Amino acid sequence: MAIPQLGLRENWHQFALLVLINAFVGGMVGLERSILPRLAEQEFHLVARSAILSFIVVFGLTKAVANYYAGAWANKIGRKNLLLIGWLFGLPVPLLLLWAPTWGWVIAANVLLGLNQGLAWSSTVVMKIDLVGPKQRGLAMGLNESAGYLAVAATAFASGWLATEYGLRPYPFYLGIGLAVLGLLGSLLVRDTRHHVALEAAQAPAVPTGPPLSFWDVTWRHPNLGSVTQAGLVNNLNDGMVWGLLPLLLASKGFTLTQIGTVAAVYPAVWGLGQLVTGPLADRLCKKDLLFWGMLLQGAVLLAMLFTSSYPVFLLLAALLGAGTALVYPTFLAAVAEYAPLPQRAHSVGIFRFWRDAGYSIGALLTGLLADAFGLGAALAAIGGMTVLSALVIRRRMYCLPVPEGLDTPGVTCIRSSPTSRGNSTLLYRWLSRPYSPPLPSGVG
């Protein structure tokens, strides 16, 4: 067996295969984004928004749990094995949607889809982080998430076009069958990355270690990890609303299925392409700044949607929403990988992804209830406001990693810190580079 090396160039064959597989993973969820809310109304005659969004609730819950266990099991059963198991769960999904006689079949399909997305996407994320090492994590996540969300866009557009030309069923779901088969076959060719993890651990400088990060440290107590986690939850909360309610909002304004599919595709297309730029930026700029401006832009766009009925304006707003999401998405994972100690990286990524994708369920429940009680506009306003609030939490709690003079830290060039912590820059750097251990340094919180 070849001696493992860290780096994107050194592992480009394996990395490219994982990028392709993640495109198939993204394509599976993109299949639903244009047509499932309309399918609920037209073929299953669901009226209540909360009932229509039930498929997103079960998808988000299942994916969140799968993310958590993917992180916990990655070191135990192997990254490749998790990837294969994820695709085995994904194979029946398009068949269930194709043949569904009742809405319950759609719910069951989304349970399996959540397991597929949680296990398969998490596996590709962790394996790419393993392959590239500490210097190129942002670039790796930009390429990974770009492939996934460009595939979401492509299948959202393709399924919307197929539904317009040939009906909601069966043709759009034939596309899903092909994606699932190709994803499973491609995963058989992947090599596990455990040797790369061992190599990075051997090359890492020895630093004093504190207590391991707990579930609640990653969830909230650690100022940087907690800020990233809450932003991830809110990001997917608003994405769940866009997924479930935007097609209904556009339909209420008289847009055709092709127009709805185009708007639904522009958002993840810009999200996907934008990450080719924002991923490398996450290796060079302060992650706090990228996260703040990305969440603020998302919130502003969602609020702006309240004031337009123009199709071209919705296309522009969808593009801006994608740009805001592109700023934060690779930065989330690069930040967690940077702030979590190496032995706890996969588990910390799993905890973050648990809360991030729980946002789908929380968003679907919240927006469904608000839309039923007060209308689609009220739901949109509430989620837009929450996204702006998330940006303010980042601005208040997060700190850029200061770099002590003479210390070359891969991926960190921003040396700013808050005014209250300038006198403790070295202490703050050491603290954020090690497992979280209260109490915090003076002036940080």
Q: Is residue 409 part of a domain?
A: no
**74-106 residue pLDDT tens:** 878 889 999 999 999 999 999 999 999 999 999
Between 337 and 255, the higher pLDDT residue: 255
Split into its structural domains, the chain has a count of: 1
Evaluate whether residue 63 is within a structural domain. Answer: yes
Longest dimension (CA), the chain: 66
Domain-embedded: residue 23? yes
In a domain, residue 433? The reply is no
pTM of the model: 0.78
The CA radius of gyration of the chain, in Å to the nearest whole number, is 21
Any domain includes 424: no
Q: Is 159 within the bounds of a domain?
A: yes
Answer whether 434's CB lies under 8 Å from 338's CB: no
List all residues 6 or more positions away from 61 whose beta carbon is below 8 Å from its beta carbon.
Answer: 114, 358, 361
Per residue in 276-333, pLDDT (tens digit) is: 999 899 888 999 999 999 999 999 999 999 999 999 999 999 999 999 999 999 899 8
Query: Does 417 have pLDDT greater than 60?
Result: no
| Token pair in block for residue 48 | 């209540």
Which domain range does residue 375 map to?
12-190+212-398
Angle CA(359)–CA(104)–CA(376) in degrees, nearest 5? 45
In a domain, 113, yes or no: yes
User: Residue 179 domain-assigned?
Assistant: yes
For residue 89, the domain's CATH number is: 1.20.1250.20
SS3 percent helix, strand, coil of the chain, rounded to 5, is 80, 0, 20
* DSSP notation for 381-430: HHHHHHHHHHHHHHHHH-------TT---TT-------GGGGGGHHHHHH
Give residue 310's pLDDT. Answer: 95
* Gap between the terminal Cα atoms of the chain: 48
Instruction: Give the Cα separation of 57 and 107 in Å (integer).
Output: 9
